[in-house]
Chains A and B, each alone.
Chain A
């Protein structure tokens, strides 16, 4: 199967090279025949890569240890699901997965292209295939997962996947992130295609927006799932540590989010054209840069993949991406001129611009943090780094400012808002939110940032409600009398706007949860003998027993702890935190016991047991409102999916 897989990726490489060259020729000569062959080539790239990745999966499932990669990351005792997920357990396989998912996107692009006329698509397909070509080059020449094991023996068993990676979220979140990352290649292709062909109307923008939304949904889900994995598995009670790998997935998310907002200004006002082009370029470049940083060992990270010497290939590619965009922007600078100006700081245009600048500031600060060690060593010769306190100091105020704009931006008038209209729109929500803030202080909430955060979230919620009720009142007065009929017409007519609000509400839920877990987290260490009790928060934790347990993969000890509520001594949960020793890899891990609740998560880690097993020590975390982070994400992703689903009218417009 190794040979078949290798042959398949080489075929895919040739086909995508063909599509790059002849796509450009088809666009230049406006030749439909060549163009059709390029579309078909793109489809065959997908098929070839499907064959390749199936070969690798088959190798994993049949324990083919003649393949070096499979031997490294799998063993016979692993469950089948983790044998498959071991495909992306290391560098080589994850690059192949990257290529495969990218080819899926290009496949859908090729299918979609048949419905779009004009000179745009040949270029778009050519550029999209150039991304494929780049990542296939990496796979074929540098990280080939189909290499044979350099050994005269065929080993009887493999090394096995690291136990920390044998977790459902670890199996799911990398592909999710890759779907986000690779899909971002398509907007870049559209952008360059539009510049090359000169068809810079609203069509490419509309198509790009949908692709970015798809990528954004995957990226959001992937980032949060990664955080969820860290939370469940790593035992430090948190979900985000500003690690370079996390950061590099967050960077393109920030610029993509900025684009999703500023694109509305271009659609409405024909402004910010160059700005939007460069947001798309930045988004894809940051994706590649993130991959480069985490795969090349340039930046030290706890996640970093083994250092490899492919860094220069990525740098060359990033250089090409940026230069192409630069040359084309200059070349088309005339048609990219704004037709209107920003007239007042009190206008929706200005609000959107400030929103964009905040997203970019956050992006810049994070990039600065990630690259600081590199700069510092290059300039002063001293190795220095900046960590979590830096990111929090910069990003917390910026995010709060964004939340504030989330309330202002959608409601303030275009062009120039009069003083009167600002008072009419915002006075009531402001006053009510301030009362809410005072009530929070009275209720004992402390700290400037937490208070500000809750108050701002409430303010935004009020503005959304106020806007909706006002629109509903007008609707009912003019046409539909009943509440339900009025709401349905309103939601149908302005579906995108209200889905946007839904996404905003999801973000508010996430913000409240993040604020609560940052500001009011409780963290305690304690030791217990049998039948002893420890009180924390509103809970009493009693140790029942400490028991050994065993599976094929590991030996473990777990503590059986029952939890009751302190006030009325009612049963709340049984928690069984565990310490595992994996004999095969000589790894020790601890399994967190977690009771999720709407009010708080109770998170218990077994720290150790004394020699005769009579006493056990624990670390407990109480993370208030933690589950709301996951719920909020579900709302956000669900809302985004609603935006992606084509509405019947739009398809018609797309096709014309």
Chain B
């Protein structure tokens, strides 16, 4: 076999592997849903979190002095329910497209003092949505 070929490949595997390992350690965030977020005991795990949840209510959207969106999220996949766990979110930027109550969102940020400070807020992309069955809509007619 070709020794030079193998050594070049090896260098790439080792250096690349180390770089990927290092970058992963530095940027990894914990993925949680609101109820897990509240019951999480170790605070260092909450410094960088990615939370998937359903918008239960939009509490405030102010434009001045700076844009700020406040809302609550609860666990995804269930109907909005005032009894269930819900956490307040603050996002200091524009309300994204398709952002409404009942929509699933992904929030990246930091959870401290009972508030989730979002750096990034993503609403699920439209192609995800399957509309409800027509019977539920047209039975009333």
Contact = CB atoms under 8 A, between A and B. Distances in A.
Interface of A: 71-72, 89-90, 149-153, 155, 159, 162-165, 233-236, 300-306, 338, 341-345, 350, 353-354, 357-358, 361, 364-365, 368, 372-373, 382-387, 389-390, 393-394, 525, 527, 586-590, 605, 607-608, 610, 615, 617, 619
A302 B131 CA distance: 17
Given A235-B94, A361-B12, A342 B130 contact: no
Interface in B81-128: 93-100, 106, 108, 122-128
Given A385-B29, A390-B24, A619 B9 contact: no
23 contacts: A150-B133, A150-B135, A151-B138, A162-B126, A164-B98, A236-B94, A300-B52, A300-B106, A303-B128, A343-B4, A364-B16, A368-B24, A384-B28, A384-B30, A384-B31, A385-B50, A386-B24, A389-B26, A586-B100, A588-B95, A589-B98, A607-B95, A615-B64
Given A162-B127, A383-B32, A386-B24, A350 B4 contact: yes
B137 interface: yes
A617 B31 contact: no
B71 to A, nearest CB: 14
A617 B64 contact: yes
Contacts of A236: 94, 96
A333 to B, nearest CB: 13
Contacts of A235: 94, 96-97
A342 B4 contact: yes
Contacts of B8: 342, 345, 350, 353-354, 357
A386 B29 contact: yes
Contacts of A607: 63, 67, 94-95
Interface residues of B, number: 51
B24 A608 contact: no
Given A234-B97, A361-B12, A368-B20, A305 B27 contact: no
Contacts of A350: 4, 8
B63 A353 contact: no
Which 4 interchain pairs have the tightest Cβ spacing?
Answer: A162-B126, A617-B63, A383-B31, A390-B27
B122 A587 contact: no
Nearest to B92: A525
Contacts of B29: 384-387
Contact of B4 (A341, A389, A587): A341
A344 B30 CA distance: 46
A605 B63 CA distance: 13
B97 A302 contact: no
A89 B127 contact: yes
A45 B19 CA distance: 48
Contacts of B93: 525, 619
A589 B127 contact: no
B66 interface: yes
Interface string B5-17: 1001100100010
B126 A619 contact: no
B23 A302 contact: no
Contacts of B137: 155
B19 A382 contact: no
Given A164-B126, A342-B5, A589-B97, A393 B27 contact: yes
A350 B133 CA distance: 59
Contact of B2 (A338, A358, A390): A338
Contact of B98 (A303, A587, A617): A587
Contacts of A525: 66-67, 93
Nearest to B21: A368
Given A338-B2, A361-B16, A373-B31, 14 more contacts: A89-B127, A300-B31, A300-B106, A303-B125, A303-B128, A342-B5, A357-B9, A357-B12, A383-B31, A384-B28, A386-B23, A394-B19, A588-B95, A590-B94
A342 B97 CA distance: 54
Nearest to B33: A383
Contacts of B30: 382-384
B27 A387 contact: yes
